[in-house]
Amino acid sequence: MSEKEQIHTAAPLPANSSAAQSHSPQSPVSSNDDIERPSAKPEEDQPPNGGYGWVCVACCFWINGSTWGINSTYAVFLAYYLSHNYFPNTSALAYAFIGGLSISMAMLVAPLATKCTSTFGTKVTLHVGIFFETLSLIGASFATEKYQLILAQGACFGLGMGFLFVGSVGIIPQWFTTKRSIANAVAAAGSGCGGLIWSLSTQAMIDNLGLPWAFRILGILSFTINLICSNILRDRNAQVGARNKSLDWSLMKRPEFWLVQAWSWFSMLGYVTVLFSLPSYARQIGLSAQQGSIIGAIFNLGQMLGRPCIGLASDRFGRINLAAFLTALCGVFCLVFWIPAELVGSPMGLLTFFSVVGGALAGTFWTTIAPVGAEVVGIRDLGSALSWTWLIMVPPVTCAEAIALEIRRFEAVDFVYVNAQVFCAVSYIAGGLVMWVLRGWKIGEVEEMERLKDREERQRAQQSSALKMQHADEKGRTYNPGGAEGAMLAREVSAISARKKAWNLRDLLRRMMKVQIV
């Protein structure tokens, strides 16, 4: 998801990051409320936009590093499993399933973790996650059978990662307003930083201390880091009136929502494949285990450097624009730089370049899913939309690496991984094309909303003129048809109308080619 990365909202997830990392929905105060009850929202309820919030950013950074970052090191474990017969009679398919299972369990447990946060509070949720993650790593160190490894490093680790991610991902938006994008981006970069650190150290621990002690040291260190951060972290749930939304079935009736889900599927098929396959691919083409772990670490370095840049650029150039372009570009880079790596005289150099640039692009989904979701369904329904997204993502994150390993050319001497590489590239390009269609819809929605707004203003001006003439003898009287509730209902009706009219296929292709920030 490795990434947690990057999903971000206080609702069920998988929470970033991007977001993958995201914005916590807050109910706006209508202008009528401000007039009638000027003191209804005390000044101290406004986000401080910094202060202790930066401490919370640091805590989320290291929690991401000690969850999604450690999960990224499964690429190192996978390369070791495939080259050693440590668990006899265990197939490559079974090993691939473990890495996907940890991410899918984190997604699947999101609703339960959200309910735990609502009922028992943030700290309890984080401590539950610490318990399961520590248990998984220590338990994996004593595993002697493949089913024990699947339960420990797969299912149990995913449970811990899910509780920690859901419990922490919605806190940062509560502390920031204008600096929210950079704060979320910095926290999301923690997964890349953690992956960089843990990938290098895990390979060194395996080489010098053996597999069991590598697991135990990871368990002890992650327990310490997560425990410190979870007790320093502070939420502002009471101040902002945060609420956890349940799954909203009405979203399933919206075609644009399904385009977002298609994007998530294609992105995860590509992301999990490249994340877990790079180190084992490096060993396949003749590089050492140490070089393979370095390639995996550099890939995480690319994520660490790329995610903040993507988060900031999306606000300037458009969230959907950037998500579509960078998702497709990642697929192109897989074709141009990853596949030819074993043809060049220095494959390590080309793989290093691909790991930096590809790593920056590969996690685009995690960085942009929350802001893209807000653009598509609105901030009020973002929590429920992300909840659906995490659940719908379970199949691709579970099966992506298994598919990649099964379609390898086992009988070949060269280009053993070429089918997996093409599969990864095509998945990313397909995701970019889906987002380009969504971009056309969004431009149409914006155009329709502007048209409806102009018509509404003309009608309001006509009504106002007529009523002023009718009540000219009543001093001080103003007319507000329907009041605040009527105005809100009218806006909702207009939004629904614009959403549906934006699917006019006659104009969709024209809008897809239009230059506009969305």
User: Which CATH number characterizes residue 361's domain?
Assistant: 1.20.1250.20
CA-atom Rg of the chain in angstroms: 25
Helices within 7-91 (DSSP H only): 31-36, 53-65, 68-72, 74-83
Q: Is residue 15 part of a domain?
A: no
Residue 384 has pLDDT above 60, yes or no: yes
Percent of the chain with pLDDT over 90: 38
Higher pLDDT, 118 or 257: 257
Is 312 found in the same domain as 453?
A: yes
2 in Cβ contact with 195 (< 8 Å)? yes
Residue 456 has pLDDT above 50, yes or no: yes
Res 417: pLDDT = 93
Is 117 found in the same domain as 60?
A: yes
Considering its fold, how many domains does the chain have in total? 2
3-class SS of residue 192: helix
Tokens of 169: 């991902």
Q: Is residue 42 part of a domain?
A: no
The band of 2, judged by pLDDT with boundaries at 50, 70 and 90, is very low
Residue 328 has pLDDT above 80, yes or no: yes
Identify which of 382, 387, 385 has the alpha carbon closest to the alpha carbon of residue 24.
Answer: 382
Res 461: pLDDT = 73
Is 219 found in the same domain as 271?
A: no
The band of 33, judged by pLDDT with boundaries at 50, 70 and 90, is very low
* Of the listed ranges 10-19, 327-336, 375-384, 508-517, the one predicted with least confidence: 10-19
Q: Is residue 19 part of a domain?
A: no
Q: Is residue 38 part of a domain?
A: no
∠ Cα 176 56 125 (to 5°): 110
Res 180: pLDDT = 67
Last residue in a domain, options 191, 209, 243: 243
Residue 20 has pLDDT above 80, yes or no: no
Q: Is residue 18 part of a domain?
A: no
Res 164: pLDDT = 94
Is 434 found in the same domain as 327?
A: yes
Residue-wise pLDDT tens digits, 386-425: 778 888 999 999 899 889 989 998 888 889 999 999 999 9
Helices within 210-288 (DSSP H only): 211-232, 237-240, 255-284
Percent of the chain with pLDDT over 70: 82
Q: Is residue 161 part of a domain?
A: yes
Is 258 found in the same domain as 225?
A: no
The band of 181, judged by pLDDT with boundaries at 50, 70 and 90, is low
Tokens of 144: 């002697």
9 in Cβ contact with 167 (< 8 Å)? no
Rounded Cα distance, 8 and 14, in Å: 8
**Crossing angle for the helix pair 255-284 and 382-392, to the nearest 10 degrees:** 40
Is 185 found in the same domain as 287?
A: no
The band of 43, judged by pLDDT with boundaries at 50, 70 and 90, is very low
Residue-wise pLDDT tens digits, 268-300: 999 999 998 998 899 889 888 889 889 988 999
Domain that holds residue 198: 53-243
Is 259 found in the same domain as 216?
A: no
Tokens of 515: 């230059």
Residue 185 has pLDDT above 50, yes or no: yes
Torsional class of 47: left (φ above 0), alpha (ψ -120 to 50), beta (otherwise): beta
Residue 334 has pLDDT above 50, yes or no: yes
420 in Cβ contact with 405 (< 8 Å)? yes
Is 308 found in the same domain as 195?
A: no
Mean pLDDT across the stretch 178-191? 79
Q: Is residue 265 part of a domain?
A: yes
Q: Residues of 46-58 as b/e, b for ≥16 C-beta within 10 angstroms? A: ebeeeeebbebbb
Identify which of 18, 8, 386 has the alpha carbon closest to the alpha carbon of residue 189.
Answer: 18
The band of 487, judged by pLDDT with boundaries at 50, 70 and 90, is low
Mean pLDDT across the stretch 19-45? 39
268 in Cβ contact with 325 (< 8 Å)? no
Is 268 found in the same domain as 235?
A: no
The band of 29, judged by pLDDT with boundaries at 50, 70 and 90, is very low
Last residue in a domain, options 243, 266, 290: 243
Residue 13 has pLDDT above 50, yes or no: no
Mean pLDDT across the stretch 88-101? 84
Res 18: pLDDT = 38
Rounded Cα distance, 187 and 4, in Å: 10
- In one-letter notation, the amino acid at residue 180 is R
